[in-house]
Structure 1
């Protein structure tokens, strides 16, 4: 036989001549092709729930698989059992995953189980082969070139819409927003309303501008005869929906479908799956509603939740025996969610049942500041390694990229090798390299762009990179970039506290020392990773760090749905641990800073009753002092604060520096509270030194007098 025209190519381990012919569907395999005792042996290694899943070969099946419950084992044994019993012809089975690594792991397991010709591929690779095969027939032309990166096209589209000076991070966020809109079936005309309803923003850009940019992006692609990765799915879906003959050929090729990580399916992938099925019901989905953490990319917990609604006769099987973690870790995982609470219209799943021997208690550690937290974690890692645990079996997990720097430095100081996953090393990031270069140049020139303080000088230099006092709206690359630059401001703050005479020269030297300390990562080292990039992985020891309110849940989680997604992200983090789990937070960002942070609310049901963070009751939810004080101001004083803030904005704009270089919010609040009437009174206000009195004193006193 020849290679399948539009099906998946067989795995490399498959014997030649095992792919289906071009003439049509294969004949069913005879029952004699697999001895019954061989089929039964495939069920022997499985627990009762996994065995029930493996034996559910026909009709719609929904497998809810909790963390560490052996879902890959269950579905690969299910497919192999179907082949061994003759129910499945291997080349008529299509197993779908989301990463090439996961697909490769399934193929390897299927090969070892005696089913090497089952097709295991990603949605994109399965769709691409079909689209390439049928494109010339449908459109009469060669298949277009697939765009590997949207960056250039998005930047050009921005230029067509008068947005020529966008930062690279904003361009990447726009590319991500285009991907979200396409996989969510949101066209440019409806984008502004949908984005507004769902609270989606791209670095403060007007939603109408984003929609117009999307139109220009599509125009540019057509002019260049190119398609992007989302178009592969769209084109395949369009061909199948518009041509029944082609759809019939594809459906004759694939009869049985298995979808791994179904909680991550987006609406476009769900539509394509429906078209492949063509009204048939021989589909098995496996997923965990507690691990839906990619809503920002189009995934929705409702797609998995609605499966049994769409298929009322579907078998629902829950895998609950956790083989990964100690009972102590499993208890934490079970406590993250209220028992049997409903999410998206369906029960999340039964509590996990630990299968391993007891281990060490889970630790909950609050630290005075982030450097102290990083030092404690690094010391624990050194101790574990000395006790025999390999570095590669340990991981430090955090919410956002900018949190990695303190841990890179702490590990580097102790000579501990590490590797970064899903995040570049702090001093390797483009914005950080640019910042250090500009700071070095400013230090050499000796020119002062602000009030002469180190923090002011640092802020003025970083303003040249677009850094501001307030973070950009929304999440994404623009926010990550801001956090990286803001981390440098925090380093300047720490240095100024240690050495009031320090200037830019000393700051640059400190940054270079930090960069040298955080040596090049190695493959055998401790893993540093974001919570998102840790999904699907596991280690003997896991340190979930920076777990304070405002970081997790993120400040952007301003709806109940967004908070629940953050809760699921926390669940993913704690369930990565096999033997040891440590959860920590810092009460302040910098050394000597105001210790106002409390642990994440997700720890409320977990912290021991006598833990210091409880303060005799529920975990506190501290407000920033400025925000709380503003709420208590009389109307006249609030108007005066707003007047001072407007003056600060205008002054900073004229000087081309961030507003905090002029005065911080706390200083403006102190001015309103004390209302100094002369230079002597100004000198008593925190944050107003001699240089600022000389530069701004007269204007401030005039504004206060008017107020």
Structure 2
């Protein structure tokens, strides 16, 4: 049985790829891990692999699921595939939560959800926590309580199981009062026919575990699965992926443990490190050619990364030769740091819109803005509110 044909011949899909990318794209059935270093063209590889499945392997677009970590990445992947293959509109490209929510919108009544159930966003969640605190006559900050709930649900654990990790008083509440708040919060959510963000995957996981008929239907819809940024999956996302993959395990996980940054959101680096143990016989493909950075930067980066205790072997190789040597400036304080950055930008010269300055906390932007303004360098704060 043949699926829709590509608007480009299959050979054309392979021609623009390097050898490692090509081998990953040619992978057909069974589990595969693509260890993709920064700037190595992992998104390109995934997109071409999906297109190749449709064009040359006879897979229908309606049998493919691709999971990304952001809605923006999902939109970009969909748009790229639309330009490459016919029938791309039938592809299932989404985030974990969007995929789980789609399942619940169809089958949610089987786990007690009412039709048209609502999903609380962060503001709704914070407002409900405040209501619960007021109802119980307690004074506490909602932020830490929300963080506790989110962390527990990302790990797939009951909030009370995290109590041993907390100080005796958390957010100004004793452990007993903390449990009262958590219990009342969950009761209020259910009474309002609502889920919070963390509930979405938990309910979908429960549904797929308890209802074999639904699981079979969803597996038919997700016969070939791709998961991007696999190193950043949390325990619930991991279990959701394994359940969908099933025994057939046509799963391609793409990621790099050297780029794991979401442990504060319960991401577990072991998910990618132990992939070949979880899926015996899995093929491993390494994308090591870097198209983004110069040789000097990669030499410096490789020397640092090799010291990571938990990693999969990989050495990035530059496509771009040469480059300025990496320099380290040790600032005396935050003001000296801002001065150095401003003077380096002046040294580069205009146009200044080709320069970006990244900082870890919003509080750092004030000194940077002042240093740039005093030297006549125009600047705009992106994704935040400037002080000037």
CA contact (8 A) 2:63 2:223 kept: yes
Are positions 1:405 and 2:380 aligned together? no
Shift in Å, 1:91? 1.2
Shift in Å, 1:384? 1.9
Shift in Å, 1:424? 4.0
CA contact (8 A) 2:6 2:51 kept: no
- State the alpha-carbon separation in 1 of the partners of residues 188 and 113 from structure 2: 21
Are positions 1:357 and 2:321 aligned together? yes
Shift in Å, 1:173? 3.1
Larger mean CA deviation between 205-214 and 89-98 belongs to 205-214
3-state SS in 1 of match to 2:330: strand
Among 355, 359, 379, the residue aligned to 1:418 = 379
Regions of 4+ moved over 6 Å: none
Larger mean CA deviation between 62-71 and 134-143 belongs to 134-143
Alignment gaps of 5+ in structure 2: none
| Aligned equivalent of 1:337 | 305
- State the alpha-carbon separation in 1 of the partners of residues 71 and 51 from structure 2: 20
- State the alpha-carbon separation in 2 of the partners of residues 309 and 242 from structure 1: 26
Among 130, 142, 158, the residue aligned to 2:103 = 130
- State the alpha-carbon separation in 1 of the partners of residues 379 and 203 from structure 2: 42
- State the alpha-carbon separation in 1 of the partners of residues 114 and 331 from structure 2: 63
- State the alpha-carbon separation in 1 of the partners of residues 242 and 330 from structure 2: 49
Structure 1 pair 207–47 and aligned structure 2 pair: CA distance change class (3 A): farther
- State the alpha-carbon separation in 2 of the partners of residues 278 and 314 from structure 1: 14
Shift in Å, 1:398? 2.6
| Aligned equivalent of 1:396 | 357
Among 93, 116, 123, the residue aligned to 1:143 = 116
Shift in Å, 1:254? 1.9
- 1:61-80 correspondence runs (5 A): 61-80=32-51
- State the alpha-carbon separation in 1 of the partners of residues 382 and 170 from structure 2: 25
3-state SS in 2 of match to 1:43: helix
Among 82, 89, 93, the residue aligned to 1:120 = 93
CA contact (8 A) 1:192 1:211 kept: no
Are positions 1:159 and 2:127 aligned together? no
Shift in Å, 1:205? 5.3
CA contact (8 A) 1:342 1:348 kept: no
Are positions 1:190 and 2:161 aligned together? yes
| Aligned equivalent of 1:480 | none
CA contact (8 A) 1:33 1:86 kept: no
State the structure with more CA Rg.
Answer: 1
3-state SS in 2 of match to 1:364: coil
CA contact (8 A) 1:136 1:142 kept: yes
Identify which of structures 1 and 2 has the higher relative contact order when contacts are C-alpha pairs closer than 8 Å and 6+ apart: 2
CA contact (8 A) 1:146 1:227 kept: yes
CA contact (8 A) 1:191 1:211 kept: no
| Aligned equivalent of 1:366 | 330
- 1:6-25 correspondence runs (5 A): none
Structure 1 pair 173–362 and aligned structure 2 pair: CA distance change class (3 A): same
- State the alpha-carbon separation in 2 of the partners of residues 361 and 369 from structure 1: 24
- State the alpha-carbon separation in 2 of the partners of residues 50 and 231 from structure 1: 36
3-state SS in 2 of match to 1:397: coil
Structure 1 pair 162–290 and aligned structure 2 pair: CA distance change class (3 A): farther
Among 146, 149, 153, the residue aligned to 1:175 = 146
CA contact (8 A) 2:149 2:159 kept: no
- 1:608-687 correspondence runs (5 A): none
Cα-to-partner distance string for 1:356-407 (whole Å, 9 max, x where unaligned):
0311121211233322221221122133233x4x42x322223333222211
CA contact (8 A) 2:228 2:254 kept: yes
TM-score computed with the length of structure 1 as normaliser: 0.51
Structure 1 pair 34–99 and aligned structure 2 pair: CA distance change class (3 A): closer
Cα-to-partner distance string for 1:440-492 (whole Å, 9 max, x where unaligned):
xxxxxxxxxxxxxxxxxxxxxxxxxxxxxxxxxxxxxxxxxxxxxxxxxxxxx
Shift in Å, 1:423? 4.5
- State the alpha-carbon separation in 2 of the partners of residues 207 and 397 from structure 1: 39
- 1:230-249 correspondence runs (5 A): 230-249=198-217
Among 208, 222, 230, the residue aligned to 1:254 = 222
Cα-to-partner distance string for 1:146-193 (whole Å, 9 max, x where unaligned):
1122110122233345432x3xxx422321221111010120332213
CA contact (8 A) 1:127 1:236 kept: yes
**Number of equivalenced pairs:** 384
Cα-to-partner distance string for 1:304-358 (whole Å, 9 max, x where unaligned):
111111112000111111110011111121122235x551xxx433121111031
Q: Superposition RMSD on alpha carbons, in Å?
A: 2.4
Alignment gaps of 5+ in structure 1: 1-27, 428-517, 519-707
Are positions 1:269 and 2:242 aligned together? no
Cα-to-partner distance string for 1:106-137 (whole Å, 9 max, x where unaligned):
11221222252322111111111210111245
CA contact (8 A) 1:188 1:212 kept: no
- State the alpha-carbon separation in 1 of the partners of residues 197 and 93 from structure 2: 19
CA contact (8 A) 1:191 1:207 kept: no
- State the alpha-carbon separation in 2 of the partners of residues 84 and 401 from structure 1: 47
Cα-to-partner distance string for 1:5-29 (whole Å, 9 max, x where unaligned):
xxxxxxxxxxxxxxxxxxxxxxx42
Structure 1 pair 415–206 and aligned structure 2 pair: CA distance change class (3 A): farther
Shift in Å, 1:253? 1.9
Cα-to-partner distance string for 1:606-628 (whole Å, 9 max, x where unaligned):
xxxxxxxxxxxxxxxxxxxxxxx
Cα-to-partner distance string for 1:56-95 (whole Å, 9 max, x where unaligned):
1211000011111110011111111111103421111000
Cα-to-partner distance string for 1:203-245 (whole Å, 9 max, x where unaligned):
5755554444222221221222211112121221122111111
Structure 1 pair 308–202 and aligned structure 2 pair: CA distance change class (3 A): farther
| Aligned equivalent of 1:681 | none
